[in-house]
Amino acid sequence: MMRLRNHAPLRSSRGFTLLEMLVVLMLMAIVAGMVLPVFRGGGVSTLELRAAARELAAGLRTARSEAVTQRRETFLVVDLEGRRFKVDQSSQEHNLPSRIELKLFTAQNDLVSEKVGAIRFFPDGGSNGGRITVASGDRKYDVDVDWLTGRIAILE
């Protein structure tokens, strides 16, 4: 008769440990947290939204710079419905993504219509002030113009 030796039982791996499962779930949550905000809000990514806010801020800075260097009032004209803007006498129009929402808060006398308005800059660098909101769903960026200094800031 043959005798089997009694060895220490080998640990058999039949599944995953709880710790391994928690690590995998944590990694999946981190990846989802980074990827999902890009696809939220009707297809407008956070990057597109931020880029639109930066483009508007650049246009406002250009208008302010023109007002100071040319010593005349200059406007940034915003077409809310067409989602575009241009600096006062420039022929170049800047188009923004069509899926974003635009709101303009400015002085009453600088509203051309319900869908078109402007932010005015003075030769001393000051402004009539205002805010352009770029939004998609619950995400938004406010491009603020300080009325006294004409300073432009992007707020989340």
CA distance 111 to 128: 12
Q: Which helix (H) or strand (E) holds 69?
A: helix 46-70
Q: Is residue 34 a part of any domain in this protein?
A: no
**How does pLDDT run across 34-58, given as a tens digit for each residue?**
776 665 545 678 888 999 999 999 9
CA distance 83 to 70: 28
Task: Determine if the pTM surpasses 0.85.
Answer: no
Q: Is residue 55 a part of any domain in this protein?
A: yes
**How does pLDDT run across 57-83, given as a tens digit for each residue?**
999 999 999 999 999 999 999 999 999
Q: Is residue 134 a part of any domain in this protein?
A: yes
Does 103 score more than 80 pLDDT? yes
Q: Give Dmax over CA atoms of the chain in angstroms.
A: 110
Q: Is residue 17 a part of any domain in this protein?
A: no
CA distance 46 to 49: 5
Give the range of the structural domain holding residue 105, as residue numbers without chain letter: 46-155
Does 1 score more than 90 pLDDT? no
Q: Is residue 58 a part of any domain in this protein?
A: yes
Q: Tell me the percentage of the chain whose pLDDT exceeds 70.
A: 87
Q: Is residue 27 a part of any domain in this protein?
A: no
DSSP for 10-59?
Answer: PPP--S--HHHHHHHHHHHHHHHHHHHHHH-STT--HHHHHHHHHHHHHH
Does 99 score more than 70 pLDDT? yes
Q: Is residue 8 a part of any domain in this protein?
A: no
In the chain, how many domains are there?
1
Q: What is the mean pLDDT of the chain?
A: 86
Q: What is the CATH number of the domain that holds 94?
A: 3.55.40.10
